[in-house]
Amino acid sequence: MDSSKLTCHKKVFGKALLFALVICCCHLLFSLNLFAQDGEAGIREATNKVKGYFDTGCDLMYAIGAVIGIIGAVKVFNKWNAGEPDTNKVAAAWFGSCIFLVVVATVLKSFFGI
C-alpha cells in the first residue's frame, strides 16, 4: 500500500475514534442528571450530619483552647520572670486566642440551632 493511503486511513480512523469518544462523553453527561437528588434534601442531610458531630467538635475546640491556654500561661510566666517588657502584649494575645475559641464554639452552636 502507498504511504499516502496509510496516512489517509489513519486520519479517518482517528476521526472515527474521536467521534465515538465524543458520543460516549455526551451520553455519559446526559445520563448523569438521572442520578441527581433534590437540593433541599441534600442540604438537610448535610445539616443533620454536622449536628451529629458538632458536640464532639466543640469538645475538641475546648480541649485545644485549654492546651493553648496552658502553653500561653507557661510562656507568659517565663517572660514575666525574665522581666521582658512585652509580657502584657503576649499575655493579651494568648488570652484573646482562648476567648476566641470559646466564642466561635458558642456562635456555631447558635448558628446550627444546637
Question: Tell me, what's the pLDDT at 114?
Answer: 65
Model pLDDT for residues 72-95, shown as the tens digit of each residue: 888 888 888 888 888 888 888 888
Question: Tell me, what's the pLDDT at 35?
Answer: 56
Does residue 27 register a pLDDT over 80?
no
CB 68 within 8 A of CB 101: yes
CB 97 within 8 A of CB 72: yes
Question: Tell me, what's the pLDDT at 50?
Answer: 77
Does residue 2 register a pLDDT over 70?
no
Model pLDDT for residues 28-73, shown as the tens digit of each residue: 777 665 555 677 888 888 888 877 787 787 888 788 878 888 888 8
C-alpha cell at 106: 458558642
Tell me how far CA of residue 4 lies from CA of 1, 8, 14, 15, 16, in angstroms: 9, 6, 15, 17, 18
